[in-house]
């Protein structure tokens, strides 16, 4: 429990459990064998991200989770590494497995030793409280996998756009159709080209994105040619934003460093961080990230970072687009946003095929 009471204390819990805790701490990763079946993508993804609260050690670098029906997933603790790092490891393991199939049976038996942990009554009370807290949190969280098979990265490239710009535009168009306004959007970008580089934020909700999304309205006079031109502008701007972020020319991490250093040196919050616009920008309603590899059957998934927002782990594949959409409940717009992802994909596909969707679709 993260809430071990003050009278008992963490140090008291460690006494008598030093060896067991050291064994867990020294392990490279944790293997979680779940006694439950996860036949669908939705069940598998939610079990990976949330689980039941019992069979996990969330502080470990990563956990390999295997359900009763053999579906496997990886849950990783984010402070040590990012998606690009973990997916590279998984892809190497998958490749080696396919090329060098493991020998099954016939060898020495694997010795499994139980790691015993002494739990006093004070801790049991905290564990019970943690259990109830977890169950409440899990009940107020939901996840749905979205898949659209009408186009993929190959079609988008032929149309002359960046596949990632189309992915991000799908999210913005669905946002506009659901709410009628745009919000702070985060897209993760690796800065691994720099020593100790981690990530920078791509602020993908650009003016170009907003203008193009509004042009898709049935009441907007923009023609098919106008929309096509706007979409090409979306792609050009997005590629520039991605290149700038990867090259260390974003601004979020620089501002974070400025704010952190100022506080550690005893300074008060700088004026720029007291501006209402800064608070608006910091409220990330659409948190997005993508990783992909042949070893993945489903998608990257993560929780929304805003109580009113969505988490969008996505992948634009060769012939389809998919995303794991997460949010906290209650959310009155969850189903509407999910449906508008579908309508956005349909209308983008129509434009790429040179069809005027406004004539046949009432928005």
Q: Which tokens sit at 48?
A: 């990976």
Burial class of 232 by CB neighbour count within 10 A (0 to 12, 13 to 18, 19+): middle
Backbone φ and ψ of 315, nearest 5°:
-150, 120
Contact 329, 309 (CB under 8 A): no
The answer to whether 78 is a known catalytic residue is yes
Q: How far apart are CA 151 and CA 318, in angstroms?
A: 8
* SS3 state at 4: coil
Residue 354, sorted as left (phi over 0), alpha (psi -120 to 50) or beta, turns out to be: left
Contact 342, 322 (CB under 8 A): no
* SS3 state at 31: strand
Strand partners, 189: 200
For residue 330, say if its preceding peptide bond is cis, omega within 30 degrees of 0: yes
Q: How far apart are CA 349 and CA 173, in angstroms?
A: 13
Catalytic residue ranges: 78
């Amino acid at each position: 429990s993260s809430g071990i009471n003050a009278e008992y204390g963490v140090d008291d819990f460690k006494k008598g459990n030093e060896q067991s805790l050291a064994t867990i701490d020294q392990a490279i990763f944790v293997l979680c064998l779940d006694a439950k079946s996860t036949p669908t993508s939705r069940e598998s993804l939610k079990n990976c991200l949330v689980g039941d609260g019992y069979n996990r050690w969330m502080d470990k670098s990563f956990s390999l989770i295997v359900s009763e029906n053999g579906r496997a997933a990886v849950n990783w603790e984010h402070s040590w590494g990012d998606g690009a790092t973990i997916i590279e490891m998984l892809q190497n393991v998958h490749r080696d497995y396919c090329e060098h199939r493991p020998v099954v049976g016939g060898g020495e038996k694997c010795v499994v030793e139980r790691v015993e942990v002494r739990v006093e009554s004070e801790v049991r009370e905290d564990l019970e409280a943690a259990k109830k807290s977890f169950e409440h949190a899990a009940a107020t969280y939901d996840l749905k996998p979205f898949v659209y098979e009408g186009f993929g990265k190959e079609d988008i490239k032929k149309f002359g756009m960046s596949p990632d710009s189309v992915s991000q535009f799908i999210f913005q168009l669905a946002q506009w159709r659901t709410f009628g306004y745009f919000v702070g959007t985060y897209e993760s970008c690796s800065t691994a080209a720099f020593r100790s580089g981690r990530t920078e934020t791509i602020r993908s909700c650009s003016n170009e994105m907003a203008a193009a999304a509004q042009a898709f309205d049935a009441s907007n006079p923009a023609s098919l040619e106008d929309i096509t031109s706007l979409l090409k502008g979306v792609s050009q701007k997005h590629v520039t934003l991605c290149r700038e972020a990867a090259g260390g020319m974003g601004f979020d991490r620089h501002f974070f460093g400025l704010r952190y250093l100022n506080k550690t040196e005893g300074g008060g919050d700088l004026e720029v961080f007291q501006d209402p616009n800064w608070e608006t920008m910091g409220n990330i309603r659409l948190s997005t990230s993508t990783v992909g590899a042949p070893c993945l059957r489903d998608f990257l998934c993560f929780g929304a970072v805003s109580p009113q927002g969505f988490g969008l782990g996505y992948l634009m594949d060769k012939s389809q687009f998919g995303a794991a959409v997460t949010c906290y409940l209650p959310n009155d717009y969850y189903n509407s946003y999910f449906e508008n992802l579908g309508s956005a994909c349909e209308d983008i596909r129509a434009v790429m095929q040179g069809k005027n969707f406004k004539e046949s679709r009432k928005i």
